[in-house]
Amino acid sequence: MKEIYRKTSIFSFIGGTGLTLYCILYYFIWYEGFSLNGDVLFELGIIGVFSLGAGVYFKKAYEKLIDHPVVDSEIDVENIGELILKRVPSLLPKLYNVDHNGQPLFQIKPAKGQFRNGLLLFQSFEKGMLFPVNYDIAALDGSILATFQIKNNVKQFTLTLKKPDGTVIGRYIQQLSKSAMKNRGTLYHADGLVWRQLEAKNMAGDIDVLDERGSRTASYRYGLFPYATLPAFQSTAHHEHVRFGAQISSEEKLAYVMIFFFWLDG
């Protein structure tokens, strides 16, 4: 979280400074009077002031956080019991899964070598619109834990999870016509057999995923976060939190990482 707050502060300062300079140019070049086009100058100025204020706020936030011991880069997915997904301010989409101290455990980022990665600057392309997008689930040292692809063919989303060697682990399919109001879909094994059925309980997105015996394999509750009072999370109001069942495999956890990234990232 310290690194996330630091980058948020930098992006806010850059945005606020840029808007402030633009307002100055706008005043001397295009400004004709408040009744004519002063509303544009006023609105941009307000946004610029708020951006600079956010920069100061998050600068103080990361300066207050202490540095915890660095997590071993050889992450053991089997021992991870929850997801706390936090988006990192960057030009391309990037998320960290952090622990209860706010320390990054692994990252989710666009796979290297995609010639269309530049289009991911626009959020509408992040979920596979027009062309499939590949993401890496990677340890902090860059080693790949798994990869997944998101494809949107207008009728359905198809998410495919693969091992680093390209072997398919499973696929998640979400029909657009059946998930317009709330997320629902089916996770399949590589051989096409149904693995899990997933369906949000309500518009907020609350969800429980059960196995064949009725035991919970994953759960998400909108707005409920057990670590909200800890220093690492006090500076932001909303946090994404997913609990894993103790009995599920590493591959199933990676499948949920893929699905909840798709559901919860903006």
Residue 266 has pLDDT above 80, yes or no: no
pLDDT digit string, tens, across residues 162-219: 999 999 999 999 998 877 778 889 999 999 999 999 988 887 778 899 988 889 999 9
Is the CB of residue 255 less than 8 Å from the CB of residue 170? Answer: yes
- The one-letter code for the residue type at 230 is L
Per DSSP, what are the bridge partners of residue 219? 208, 243
CA angle 70, 73, 74 (to 5 degrees): 135
Q: What is the CATH number of domain 83-264?
A: 2.40.160
For residue 251, count other CB atoms closer than 10 A to its CB: 17
For residue 109, count other CB atoms closer than 10 A to its CB: 19
- CA distances 26 to 21, 40, 44, 55, 252, Å, are 9, 9, 10, 23, 54
- In this prediction, residues 219-225 reach a mean pLDDT of 88
- In this prediction, residues 112-120 reach a mean pLDDT of 70
- In this prediction, residues 55-78 reach a mean pLDDT of 70
Residue 84 has pLDDT above 90, yes or no: yes
Between the two ends of the chain, the Cα-to-Cα distance in Å is: 18
Higher pLDDT, 129 or 71: 129
User: CA 110: distance to chain centroid?
Assistant: 12
Question: What CA–CA distance (Å, rounded) separates 77 from 99?
Answer: 13
pLDDT confidence of residue 115:
65
pLDDT confidence of residue 71:
52
Is the CB of residue 80 less than 8 Å from the CB of residue 70? Answer: no
- CA distances 74 to 105, 188, 257, Å, are 10, 28, 18
In three-state secondary structure terms, 55 is: helix
Residue 234 has pLDDT above 60, yes or no: yes
Residue 34 has pLDDT above 80, yes or no: no
For residue 30, count other CB atoms closer than 10 A to its CB: 11
pLDDT confidence of residue 123:
67
Q: Which of 18-32, 44-58, 91-105, 187-201 has maximum average pLDDT?
A: 187-201
Q: Which of 123-132, 184-193, 204-213, 232-241 has maximum average pLDDT?
A: 184-193
- The one-letter code for the residue type at 239 is H
